Amino acid sequence: MDLRVREAQISDAEGIINIFNPIIKAGIYTAITKTISIDAEREFISKFNKRGIFHVAVDNSQQEIVGFQNVEPFGNDFTDAFDHVGVIGTFVSLSHRRQGIAKSLFQATFNACIDKGYEKIFAYVRADNQVALSTYLNQGFDIIGTARKHAKINGFYIDEIMIERFL
């Protein structure tokens, strides 16, 4: 695949939700349960944190977004204690898996994280999402704990695995 990773733009909103909503609806990958409208995604991109990183992977031959990844600061306006920590999320189109798209996104995102002064990346992964865990461990993340019964989806509890990677 002729793949290019670049920064997300507001005009990518439709391409992003075209990937994201089927992943959300599948109900087995993420703790996000509500699908996202194009307007909400446009707003999300336009208000994205200045220290954040938001990448899309584009299949150049089709001009189609096939994956995206973002990192947001772990902290908030009331402290700078967590300024060196980012929280990552990674999503690849259901029909384009296992072709190295996540791998390309990680490479670009880690570089951008270092440039923006992050020292560590953190994430929660659903304990029943073995594919995502394998993907993150393959990228040098370590498991640091389990938040038990952390998500409750359709009445069922799901543990969340906490992972981190130093840059």
- Sites of contact with ligand COA (CB under 6 A): 23, 29-30, 89-92, 97-103, 123, 125, 129, 131-132, 134-135, 138
User: What 8-state DSSP symbol labels residue 48?
Assistant: -
DSSP state of 100: S
Task: Output 71 or 92, the one with its CB closest to ligand COA.
Answer: 92
- Minimum distance from CB of 78 to ligand COA (Å)? 26
Local structure of 22: helix, strand or coil:
helix
CA dihedral of 124, 68, 130, 22, whole degrees rounded to 10: 110
Nearest-CB residue for ligand COA = 102
> Taking the complex as a whole, how short is the minimal distance between the CB of residue 124 and ligand COA, in angstroms?
8
In the bound state with ligand COA, the residue whose beta carbon lies nearer, of 83 and 128, is 128
CB of 77 to ligand COA, least distance (A): 24
Query: Which one, 53 or 92, has the nearer CB to ligand COA?
Result: 92
Among candidates 51, 53, 61, 49, which has minimal Cα distance to 105? Answer: 53
State the minimum distance, in angstroms, from the CB of residue 131 to ligand COA: 4
End-to-end CA distance of the chain: 28
**Beta-ladder partners of 73:** 86
C-beta closer to ligand COA: residue 121 or 132: 132
Amino acid present at 78: F
